[in-house]
Amino acid sequence: MKGNERISTMDALLFAISLEVMLLQMRILEISAKRKFPASGLKDVREKQLSDKLARDRKIVKEILLRTLLGLAQDGEWYVLKEAVEVIEKNTNSLGVLTTRHEKLKSSLENICFELQRNRLQWKLDFRKYDLKIAFLRDSIKDCVLNSRMHFDYADRWLSARAESLELQVQVSAAPAPRLDHEDCVHDELLKAYELQIQERVQLLDYWKIRYFKDTADLEARLAAQCEQLRVTVVRRGELESLFKLHEGEMRAWLTFKKERAARLAREERLRKAATRIQAWWRGVMVRRALGFLQLEFWEIWILSSLELDVIIHNVGASGVGCGDECVSSALRRLLLY
């Protein structure tokens, strides 16, 4: 169906219904979007721009659909929609060109930003170097000022001291000669000081002699006490060693006695068990051979063997076990042996 041709009434009605449904859906979506995202909630400039663009596009679509409905109602043609589609396709092509140009501009912007960033870092480094140089120059200027001030103060004080010394040299008068009584007094004081020092040294010497003898006697007493304590300890150790050896011998004898007693009891137990087994074996032999007080007459033995043979035959016949032949043969051998 071409755009410059008329369409049938049914197709026009169906197309109009589809367009009305589309308009209704757009209206519903617009109302729901306004409820979810009110105009006051869009704080970002980018979101506001997108919202305005969406409103403009929605308005254009509504106008195109309404004009298409009017064309369908009047002439049954839909060339308005076709023209709008062609315009949109042209805009799409121009959008591709704009997108390519935008990408190029974006890449150039990134390069410019990178260059500016690098320049900013370089300028920052230069400013830091300049700041360090300024600080160094400021410190050097301050040091020079302080040094010059110290030199000036030193020179001023030195000049003042030199002037005072010169004034004192001019004003100094010759001292009078000392008198003889003053010299004798000084000599007496020196002799007294020397005598006091000698007396103090002698007293210290006597004190340290007494201290030496006292400490020597104390050390000898301590050594004697330690020697006595060591002698007592040695004697006590010898006694304890002898007692330990005695107890060790007794414990060794006791352990030997226990081992011998255990061996003797085990040997007696083995002998008792062996004797018991021998007695049991001998009693069995006496019972089987009818020896001693267990002797029987020939006819009693014959009756017992016959009864045993009958019982075995009866059991074999009742149970049907395959070992009956062996039992019968053993009973016959005992009967013949007797």
Judge whether 225 lies within some domain.
Answer: no
Asked which of 78, 109, 134 is the last residue of a domain, the reply is 134
Length of the chain: 338
Asked which of 106, 134, 162 is the last residue of a domain, the reply is 134
pLDDT given for residue 256 in this prediction: 94
The closest alpha carbon to 75, from 6, 2, 13, belongs to 6
Number of structural domains the chain divides into: 2
- Among 13-22, 26-35, 134-143, name the most confident range: 134-143
Judge whether 149 lies within some domain.
Answer: no
Residues 6+ apart with CB under 8 A from 26: 58, 61, 62
* Structural tokens at position 30: 């617009």
CA dihedral (57, 62, 65, 71) positive or negative: negative
Burial of 72 (0-12, 13-18, 19+ CB in 10 A): buried
* pLDDT tens by residue, 59-80: 777 777 777 777 766 776 666 7
Judge whether 129 lies within some domain.
Answer: yes
* pLDDT greater than 80 at residue 92: no
Confidence of residue 307 (pLDDT cuts 50, 70, 90): low
pLDDT given for residue 310 in this prediction: 57
- Among 61-65, 76-80, 98-102, 321-325, name the most confident range: 98-102
Q: What's the CA gap between 251 and 153, in Å, rounded?
A: 101
Judge whether 222 lies within some domain.
Answer: no
DSSP state of 34: H
* pLDDT greater than 60 at residue 128: yes
Confidence of residue 114 (pLDDT cuts 50, 70, 90): very high
CA 47 to chain centre: 49
Judge whether 307 lies within some domain.
Answer: yes
Q: What's the CA gap between 21 and 57, in Å, rounded?
A: 18
* pLDDT greater than 60 at residue 41: no
What average pLDDT does the chain have?
77
* pLDDT greater than 90 at residue 241: yes
Say if CB 42 and CB 48 are below 8 A apart: yes
Judge whether 302 lies within some domain.
Answer: yes
pLDDT above 90 as % of the chain: 35
Confidence of residue 319 (pLDDT cuts 50, 70, 90): very low
Judge whether 147 lies within some domain.
Answer: no
The closest alpha carbon to 305, from 285, 327, 274, belongs to 327
Q: For 310-331, what is the mean pLDDT?
A: 50
What is the DSSP track for 36-90? Answer: HS-GGG--SHHHHHHHHHHHHHHHHHHHHHHHHHHHHHHTS--HHHHHHHHHHHH
Lowest-pLDDT range of 89-93, 151-155, 174-178, 281-285: 174-178
Residues 6+ apart with CB under 8 A from 296: 290, 304
Judge whether 56 lies within some domain.
Answer: yes
Domain residues for the domain of 333 are 296-338
What is the DSSP track for 15-32? Answer: HHHHHHHHHHHHHHHHHH
pLDDT given for residue 285 in this prediction: 78
Asked which of 134, 152, 176 is the last residue of a domain, the reply is 134
DSSP state of 161: H
* pLDDT tens by residue, 282-305: 877 777 776 655 554 444 555 555
pLDDT given for residue 117 in this prediction: 92
**Could you tell me which residue, 9 or 124, shows the higher pLDDT?**
124
Residue 174: which H helix or E strand, with range?
none
Confidence of residue 257 (pLDDT cuts 50, 70, 90): very high
CA dihedral (83, 88, 92, 94) positive or negative: positive
Q: For 146-173, what is the mean pLDDT?
A: 85
CA 332 to chain centre: 90
Say if CB 71 and CB 78 are below 8 A apart: yes
